[in-house]
Amino acid sequence: MMKPEMSVNTLGWTAGQRVNLLRETVKTYGCDDFFPWKELLATDFFSAPASTKYHGAYAGGLFDHSMNVANALCYLTATEVASPWMRPESPFLVGLFHDVTKIGKYMVNDTGDGFKWAPNKENAIYGGHGAESLIRVQQWIQLTEEEAMCIRFHMGAFESDDWEPFGIAIKKYPNVLWTHTADMMASKIMED
């Protein structure tokens, strides 16, 4: 596994430029033959924000944040901080798809002082953040149980106060904790 560039910032890029960057990255990680291009290209993944006011609160921020988490998780794996994965492309796929719950959740509102991102509450039908990402990505790609648990619990304690399932998942798959760590590295250090 290669050591990736740690931080991605495509602020000012077009969605097409982001797609091209992802195409090259997917080839690097050797998962182009089963990557869900059709499904992903039919969404706003390349133009949506990652949040309304925190990390990635700009057009394309969701893509940047997802790539940053993927890069951080791949880096932790390449440097042998994270545990070995069941398949080599797992850290890239988990990092890239951990926040697909945010696809289609934001819309542009004209507030009179420019355009602001606002949550589109009509699309919030699946429940928790990690669970919704897991449900959505499993419609596109077959995940290992390890990948599924990493996506499901990537929010750690930020999503719920129910520590028992999170702890059980970490004991079974230590990369659950490293996925949460990579998400925090991206949102609190790389993108801050």
Parse the chain into domains and list their residue ranges.
15-190
How far apart CA 45 and CA 40 sit, in angstroms, is: 7
How far apart CA 92 and CA 51 sit, in angstroms, is: 21
pLDDT of residue 55: 84
pLDDT at 4 > cutoff 60: no
Q: CA nearest 154: which of 126, 124, 184?
A: 184
Residues facing residue 107 across a β-bridge? 118
Note if the pTM is more than 0.95.
Answer: no
How far apart CA 174 and CA 7 sit, in angstroms, is: 24
Q: Over the chain, what is the mean pLDDT?
A: 87
pLDDT per position as a tens digit, 67-105 = 999 999 999 999 999 999 999 999 999 999 999 999 988
Residues 6 or more apart in contact with residue 31 via CB below 8 angstroms: 89, 92, 93
pLDDT per position as a tens digit, 137-155 = 999 999 999 999 999 999 8
Residues facing residue 130 across a β-bridge? none
| Cα four-point dihedral sign 96, 2, 7, 150 | positive
- The pLDDT-based confidence of 159 (bands split at 50, 70, 90) is low
Residues 6 or more apart in contact with residue 82 via CB below 8 angstroms: 73, 76, 91, 174, 175, 178
Length reported for the chain: 192
